[in-house]
Structure 1
Amino acid sequence: MVVNEEGDILLVKNPNRGWEFPGGYVDKEETLQHAATREVREESGIEIQVTDLVGVEQISSKRLNVFVFKGRPISGELSLSNETWDVGYFTRGESLSKIKLERYKERLLRCMDEQNTPFLLES
């Protein structure tokens, strides 16, 4: 979750999933934080500094662990990639209305709940 100085949230529009946080997989011999910064750069054109680990989601049926970091933009210009149809910063309310997949809305709500972060979600 990338948040700018105004408190707006960076979202990218994936052709299959719609609006979501930038993200992806960790490459071989890559750290989690490096993967987070690389994926944001590749999908949005924005360089970030990771500031916090916000939560972990374990989806055991898919053998998947999702690490959710919070970061702040430090440079770059919003740009599209072969993975994104659109990109932009949006208020919390706008972000919630743009995100259509329920699990991504729930992730955003968990990230915004500062009293209960970092979170651990196991399913």
Structure 2
Amino acid sequence: MIMPTHIVAVGGIVEDAHGNILLVKTIDGGWVFPGGQVEVGENLMDALCREIKEESGIDVVVAHLIGVYSNTGMYKWYDGVTDVPTKVMFDFVCKPVGGELGISEETTESGWIAKDKVLDMITAPAIRTRYQAYLDFDGHVCYMEYVTNPQFELKLNRTV
């Protein structure tokens, strides 16, 4: 029996006291809310704080979970050979507690964007869908299954 392999990732919707949302512009993916893969031996919240700090320069505290997402599509990595496994992502609302806006090896810009302008900037369908889940959050955690390759397809959308 082959043991399943999953990539575990986290995303942070960081909202400041004025209702602005932290976005970063990635080198290859356009504007997104910050986040990334959880490293071996790291817990979800520590991973999220680390990723946000690395990508944007902003220090945060994690407030609450808003969504769990499964990207169940199997496809090849950029090298055309390596299989990309299922991804499980956890999105949290975060509050900024310090730091200065900056960039990283992965990001070319960062900024605070008015909550109602964020969807004008995000082009990736999966990220747009997850941000909309934040806007629609009513206290129930959202669960979605989707695939992103060859095109975005939402397969399941419910609350838990």
TM-score, normalization by structure 1: 0.95
Kindly indicate whether residue 90 of structure 2 is the aligned counterpart of residue 76 of structure 1: no
d(CA) in 2 for partners of 1:109 and 1:74?
24
d(CA) in 2 for partners of 1:96 and 1:63?
26
Percent identical: 35
Larger relative contact order, structure 1 or 2 (CA cutoff 8 Å, min sep 6): 1
d(CA) in 2 for partners of 1:114 and 1:81?
30
For the aligned residues, what is the CA RMSD? Answer: 1.1
**Structure 1: gaps spanning 5 or more residues:** none
Deviating beyond 3 angstroms after TM superposition, the runs of 4 or more aligned structure 1 residues are none
Per the TM alignment, residue 116 of structure 1 is displaced from its structure 2 partner at its CA by 6.1
d(CA) in 1 for partners of 2:24 and 2:112?
9
| Structure with greater proportional helix content | 1
Residue 110 of structure 2 aligns with an amino acid whose one-letter code is V
- What secondary structure sits across from 1:65 in the alignment? strand
TM-score, normalization by structure 2: 0.74
- When structure 1 is superposed on structure 2, of 53-62 and 21-30 the one drifting more is 53-62
**Structure 2: gaps spanning 5 or more residues:** 1-12, 74-84, 147-160
1:46 aligned residue: 58
Structure number, greater radius of gyration: 2
Equivalent residue pairs, number: 123
Kindly indicate whether residue 123 of structure 2 is the aligned counterpart of residue 100 of structure 1: yes
